[in-house]
A and B are shown apart, each in its own frame.
Chain A
Amino acid sequence: MQQSSTLTSSSSLCWKMPLAWQKLLAVCALSGFLGACASGPVGGPVVQDLSLGKAPDTTSEDAAKAVQTEPQASAILVQPEMHGPLSSSAEEVPKEKIKEPLAEPLSQPQASPQVQTKTPVATPVAPLPEAHQQVVESLLYEADQAKARGDTAVAIMKLQQAQRIAPREPKVYARLAALYLADGQAAKAEQLSRKGLTLVADNAAYSHYFWRVIAACRRFQGDTDGEAAALSKARQFQ
């Protein structure tokens, strides 16, 4: 509809001023040629390149706010780094604050999980029972795999996914607690263990396990009395 009128006007121009038109075309071609030579590899507005690099004023400070707006809601692994290279993937986001490798064996319940403590109280913990749902076991497995390749962020996401599917499955809390403890977030790991304890009634294996983790958390935070109290609780469930 609208398009034709433009073209007819330029085409009538074309007949009245053939010379000028030819020159115009010639110049077009020339500038095209020059342009092609001068601009090197011509990069159009390539659809796949949705660069955030252009974001002018988002600082990592803003990003940090993303998680600090509510202290309790703070994110563990957030670095909204909008200037950052596009290649940086989620996997590269976290990994910090690991003070010492604690509780590593906790993530492998089949292999006699046990909190690695400095004090020699190495009583092997019985393997945790199977989760009620297979889907939970498979997500725990995926979390283990992610953790094994150093991808804590994905491991946590997988465990959260499992928590949503089975919010009262103690094994999920056991794994989350172990993961956070290994990540140096002892206070959070203790809270998760406490929540886990409310889901297991008097199940000895879990109660023992959670109290052991709580003991390790307290030791990590320098609370030796608390650690001793937790260990004595753990012993009740041996």
Chain B
Amino acid sequence: MATKGAKFRLPWRFIWQLMTVMLVCGLALLVYLDAQVRERFDGHRWSLPAKVFARPLELYVGKQLAADQLQFELQQLGYRAVQQVRQPGQYRWQAGELDIYSRGFHFVDASEQAVRRQVQVKNNRVLGLRGEPGQAVHLLRLEPQLIGGIYPSHNEDRELIQLADLPNGFLETLLAVEDRAYYEHLGVSPTGIARAMVANIKAGRVVQGGSTLTQQLVKNFYLNANQTLWRKALEAPMALLLNSHYEKDEILEVYLNEVFLGQQGKRAIHGFGLASWYYFGQPIGELQLHQIALLVGLVKGPSYYNPKRFPQRAKQRRDLVLAVLAEQGLISAQQKAIFQAKPLRLSKVSQFSRYPAYMDLVRKQLQNAYKAKDLSEQGLRIFTTIDPWAQQQADQAMVATVKKLQVRHGKQAKLQAAMVVSQRDNGEVLAVVGDSNGGYAGHNWALDESRQVGSLIKPVIHLSALTSGRYHLLSPIDDSPLSLPQADGSVWQPANYDKQHHGMVPMYEALVKSYNVANVRLGMNLGVEQVLGQLSDLGAKQHWTALPSRLLGALEMSPMHVNQVYQTIASNGFYNPLTVIRDVTDPLGNLLSHYPYQVRQAADPQATYLLQHELALVGRQGTGRSAYRYLPTSQQVAGKTGTTNDQRDSWFAGFSGRHVATVWMGNEDASATPLTGASGALQAWAALMANLPYEDDGDQQPAEVDFFRTDPASGFIIDAHCDGLVLPFAKLRPQAQSNCGR
């Protein structure tokens, strides 16, 4: 029996030893955890994707601005239409008068304050701009739209905020729902757990969590999503440690920026700052209580309560949060009712992948200068030249035109298209359309695809001719049959599109009607080398061997490169490299790179002026005239159609007002299409121009150029009272003849 008693004796010694070992281990673990908590919290910097901004909208007297565009821009910026403008982010638009309170923005060159302004708009033009009484205001620069980001592999995105950025009622709501005793507890809250348990037992399911915000932060911040029991066990002690080291406000601020609040495709929405933009299209400081309630409600389950996918469920959750506020006496029952009655009204504006083809171009340009890691982690701010309105119109014009062509010619499964729009006189790229859907999936047809340019080359031949000083617009050019022996012994006989020959034609007509034979003959007289040299002066990057077929555009260029060439022609012969970025700054707004205005004379300005006039005639009476189905006759259009063999490619490149644009259409596999330059690309080009603001900067006629009335048939300058065509001439002029040239 004694042995039996001895059997039951507790091994105290062993237990004490065990406890000592456990204590030592526990202590070691604590020291380790403590170091972890502090190291991670002190040393933490979020990886911030680079933010890409559009050009800011600038309002000033004289600015062309359609009401549609104004509404679009304000909507994209998340401005709210109100009856009475009281705070930043609000506007009132009535009877041509815009009352707006801007938000302010830290630009590279200046910090714009939030200001209230009155803008008077009439007939699509800003007529007046007023500020405070007695204050002269000349310019209102709104904040630029965020058009995207450059994301790292994990795609975590956030917009950092501080406690001071929060609107009234935000913290109260967050704490009321998630952690009532936040400012009292030590990181874990036994009362919170008890209350949660009671609530859960009452409800028969889990309705409340007992975690404090500190614990939630620990879970997100230190412990990865791959939860194990071990990690869960660490949560509470780590929360205690965190709480002991840092101020409550510090912890809270990190929590506000860390919390996961949604998923948009691959992009994870972290923090309330970004969530506010993502769900409401507004900065967090402008949110009202019902919006705050929605965001706070999301913490419990961003996917389950996703307001974009499950609006009903999200509204219930939001209303529950509002009810909690009322229950705790933070709002009155009446206020609760008012806010609960409000619709969700989510933002329809996406700040992600809205302009994929343009972003592709931005990324390519940045890759040359910045490392991928810096772009995705350093929170750089990229200020681009994209004009969101022009981009929107370009996308729409392309989609609508392709749809129309499908109706007319039957389904064209392989049809692709691209468009580039830039600003005349400075080369800023305003819009890029990368495929026929207005989207872009992998292959950017505006940048990555080079096709034969066909007749787009002809203006370059004419520029060479006019520059040589041996030709004027009425110089006779022979369009009769032409045979050119080739190096391989064969004979090349270029033909016209209409299969006819037109004898001697005035030079301008050879361009306006796009006669192949006459232009090849003109080009051969000048020399193919000469023409290709002119082309590269204008900004073409490639080099081609000098073959006669080049004179009919047997050379491949991308729409972007074509646009560069026409940009130079539009800018009076001055080359401005096409640019997409104005500035790059660090997150605090310090300048890292500035891309300045570049200009280089690439062609003779007088010759270019004469060429511009020829291109305007293409629009008025030549292959480009169907543009005027979309445009008023008062609008100047100058450009050139291009159609390649078997109608494989349909091009139009040209300029109008302050815009230069190039459109290409063709099949993916370069097979024949039913389209010519005029019936395909030009249609999209003109549809775009019809919706862009048209600014006519007038005609700057060079000093040595004069206009004369002419008789194109006889090639003479005739008296002003005769019927004839008025053309510009530099030093070289046709002879004058009385009798109206008869």
Digitize B484-497: 1 where CB-to-A-CB distance is under 8 Å, 0 elsewhere.
Answer: 00000000000000
Q: Which of B61, B374, B597 has its CB near the most chain A CB atoms (within 10 A)?
A: B597
Contact indicator A200/B700 (Cβ below 8 Å)? yes
B200 lies within 8 A of chain A by Cβ: yes
Give the contacts of B220-245 with A (CB-CB under 8 A): 232-233, 235-237, 240-241, 244-245
Contact A8-B595, Cβ < 8 Å, known A28-B30, A32-B244, A201-B702: no
Is B172 interfacial (CB 8 A cutoff)?
A: no
Residues of B within 8 A of A44 (CB): 41-42, 246-247, 250-251, 253-254
> Can you list, as one digit per residue, whether each of A1-33 has a CB less than 8 Å from chain B (1) or not (0)?
111111111110000000010011101110111
Does B337 belong to the interface (CB within 8 Å)? no
A116 to chain B, nearest CB (A): 24
Q: Chain A: which residue is nearest B243 at the CB level?
A: A32
Q: Please name all residues of chain B whose beta carbon is closer than 8 Å to the beta carbon of A191 when the two chains form the complex.
A: 574, 599-601
Q: Which A26-54 residues sit within 8 Å CB-CB of chain B?
A: 27-29, 31-33, 35-36, 39, 42-48, 50-52, 54
Instruction: Let me know if B418 is at the binding interface, CB within 8 A.
Output: no
Contact check: which of A6, A51, A74 meets B236 at CB < 8 Å?
Answer: A6
- Quick check: A154 and B42 within 8 Å, CB to CB? no
Partner of B423, one of A5, A36, A45, A167: A167
A176 in contact with B193 (CB, 8 Å): no
For the complex, give the distance between the alpha carbons of A41 and B595 in Å. 41
Tell me, in angstroms, the Cα distance from A160 to B244 when the chains sit together: 53
Q: CA of A57 to CA of B372 in the docked complex: distance in angstroms?
A: 11
A78 touches B368 (CB 8 A): no
Contact present for A80 and B369 (CB under 8 Å)? yes
What is the CB-to-nearest-CB distance from A69 to chain B, in angstroms, rounded to a whole number? 4
Given A3-B210, A158-B109, A202-B703: A58 in contact with B371 (beta carbons within 8 A): yes
B98 contacts the other chain (Cβ, under 8 Å)?
Answer: no
Report the bound CA distance from A139 to B60 in whole Å. 11
A119 at the A/B interface (Cβ < 8 Å)?
Answer: no
Determine the distance from Cα of A75 to Cα of B233 in the docked complex, in whole angstroms: 56
Enumerate chain B residues within 8 angstroms of A9, measured Cβ to Cβ. Answer: 232-233
State whether A45 touches B34 (Cβ < 8 A): no
User: A72–B577 contact, CB under 8 A?
Assistant: yes
CA distance A28 to B187 in the complex (A): 11
Does A98 reach chain B (CB closer than 8 Å)? no
Closest to B108 in A: A90
Which residue from A62, A133, A146, A168 sits with its C-beta under 8 Å from B369? A62
Residues of A within 8 A of B609 (CB): 198
Residues 579-619 of chain B, each 1 if its beta carbon lies under 8 Å from chain A, else 0:
10010111111111111111111000100010000000000
Contact with A along B255-271 (1 / 0, CB 8 A): 00100000000000000
User: Does B48 make an interface contact (CB < 8 A)?
Assistant: yes
> Given A55-B378, A176-B597, are A67 and B369 neighbors across the interface (CB < 8 Å)?
yes
Give Cα A139–Cα B593 distance, bound, in whole angstroms: 22
**Residue of B at shortest CB range from A173?**
B599
Q: Which of A11, A82, A134 contacts B138, CB < 8 Å?
A: A134
Give per-residue flags for A148-189: 1 if the beta carbon is below 8 A from chain B beta carbons, else 0. Answer: 000001101110110111011000000010000000000010
Question: In the complex, what residue of chain B is closest to A31 when comparing beta carbons?
Answer: B34
A20–B590 contact, CB under 8 A? no
| CB-defined contacts of A81 to chain B, threshold 8 Å | 592
Residue contact A195 to B601, C-beta cutoff 8 Å: yes
Please tell me if the beta carbons of A51 and B369 are within 8 angstroms of each other in the complex.
no
Residues of A within 8 A of B597 (CB): 160, 163, 176
Closest B residue to A57 using CB positions: B371
Q: Write out the residue numbers on chain A whose beta carbons fall within 8 Å of the beta carbon of B211.
A: 3-4, 6-7
The answer to the question of A229 belonging to the interface, with a C-beta cut-off of 8 Å to chain B, is: no
Given A28-B244, A43-B42, A58-B370, is A168 in contact with B425 using a C-beta cutoff of 8 Å?
A: yes
Flag the segment in B21-29, B78-86, B620-628, B714-722 that touches A: B21-29
Number of interface residues of A (CB under 8 A): 93
CB of B11 closer than 8 Å to a CB of A: no
Q: A4-B208, A44-B250, A201-B701 are in contact. Are A28 and B240 (CB under 8 A)?
A: yes
**Nearest residue in A to B55 (C-beta to C-beta)?**
A164
Knowing A70-B577, A164-B423, the reply to whether A153 touches B591 (Cβ < 8 A) is yes
**CB-CB under 8 A for A89 and B590, given A28-B237, A73-B595:** yes
Residues from chain A with a CB closer than 8 A to the CB of B596 are: 75-77, 156, 160
Q: How far is the CB of A167 from chain B (nearest CB, A)?
A: 4
Task: Decide: A3 near B244, CB < 8 A? Known: A28-B30, A47-B162.
Answer: no
Q: Does B76 contact A (CB under 8 A)?
A: no
A-chain residues with CB within 8 Å of residue B379 when the two chains form the complex: 50, 52
Q: How far is the CA of A25 from the CA of B188 in the complex (A)?
A: 12
Within the complex, the shortest CB–CB distance from A14 to chain B, in Å, comes to: 8
Contact A24 B26 (CB under 8 A): yes
Q: Is B698 an interface residue (CB 8 A)?
A: yes
Alpha-carbon distance A48/B589, docked complex (angstroms): 12
Q: Is A232 an interface residue (CB 8 A)?
A: no
A139/B594 contact (C-beta < 8 A), A82-B378, A165-B58, A168-B425 known: no
Sampled A-B contacts (27; CB under 8 Å): A1-B300, A6-B235, A7-B193, A9-B233, A20-B19, A25-B240, A31-B244, A39-B42, A44-B253, A45-B43, A47-B257, A48-B162, A50-B45, A51-B45, A55-B374, A72-B575, A73-B598, A77-B591, A78-B592, A90-B594, A133-B61, A146-B109, A158-B109, A176-B597, A191-B600, A198-B605, A198-B609
The 5 closest A-B pairs by CB, nearest first: A32-B244, A3-B211, A3-B209, A66-B369, A90-B591
